[in-house]
Amino acid sequence: MAIKRIIPCLDVKDGRVVKGINFVNLRDAGDPAEFARVYSEQGADELVVLDITATHEGRRTFTDVVSRVAAAISIPFTVGGGIHELADVERLLAAGATKVSLNSAALRNPQLVNDIAERFGSQVCVAAIDARLDSDGWYCYVNGGRKRVERTLFDWAREVADRGAGEILFTSMDHDGVKQGFPNDALARLAETVNVPVIASGGAGAKEHFADAFRLGHADAALAASVFHFGEILIPELKQYLAAEGIEVRL
């Protein structure tokens, strides 16, 4: 079994970390650079920093956040939100990001995935997929989960991997913030569908949920936000638990 990664996620709005449930009801959680520093010191393997309301006006604010996070940590971090063209990728990488995450922009312009992979390397391009289990199957959503598109989770994941995305970050909108566990059946199917690492997102509420995502969902990494932000799960304790369960993690 390859080493499994634990990834805290910072959702940033107007320069502050926020957290909600099912993508709504946001509450302020604190300063992103301070969170990043603490997580880096606690042993997080990577970070994800998302500008969740990436309007054109907010880009300068968010670039400043990325620079401050980069200065505070010594681990890789992925940045997402408001990325529409190669110039956006260049700006964020120049500010210190290690990778970029694409969601709505990739669905609207799939060629952008190819372009980023060709220009910067597949390892820089993370395809983020927000999906929900509807009555007719798992479908992708854009605009922060507000609008369904007629692409299924598994077909779209296969396409972005074929186009050069180096990782898939799959968030189950049904599980987001609910703390009842990750969507392990969908994760396992996703792991069979693509030949790139899959990051599980949406549903962490207990240490056992992480173990299940790795064992049952065959995820390569697990991402969480509120359980880390509000001290419900401490990363060092989580990693000790996973190691005791026979799951290989970096201690």
Contact indicator for 47, 75 with CB cutoff of 8 Å? yes
Quote the pLDDT of residue 115: 98
Quote the pLDDT of residue 191: 97
Q: What is the DSSP letter of 192?
A: H
Q: Which residues of 180-193 are buried (b: 16+ CB within 10 A; e: fewer)?
A: ebbbbebbbbbbee
- How confident is the chain (251 residues) per 10-residue block, as mean pLDDT? 92 85 70 95 97 68 92 97 92 97 94 98 97 96 86 98 98 81 97 98 96 98 92 97 98 94
Quote the pLDDT of residue 210: 98
Say which of 45, 51, 88, 130 is annotated catalytic. 130
The model carries a pTM of 0.93
Quote the pLDDT of residue 174: 80
Quote the pLDDT of residue 164: 98
Say which of 11, 51, 212, 220 is annotated catalytic. 11
DSSP H or E segment with residue 92: helix 86-94
Q: Which residues of 114-136 are buried (b: 16+ CB within 10 A; e: fewer)?
A: bbbbeebebebbbbbbbbbbeee
Quote the pLDDT of residue 57: 56
Instruction: List the one residue out of 58, 53, 154, 64 whose CA is nearest residue 104.
Output: 53
Angle at which helices 207-215 and 235-244 pack, to 10 degrees? Answer: 50
Active site residue 130: yes
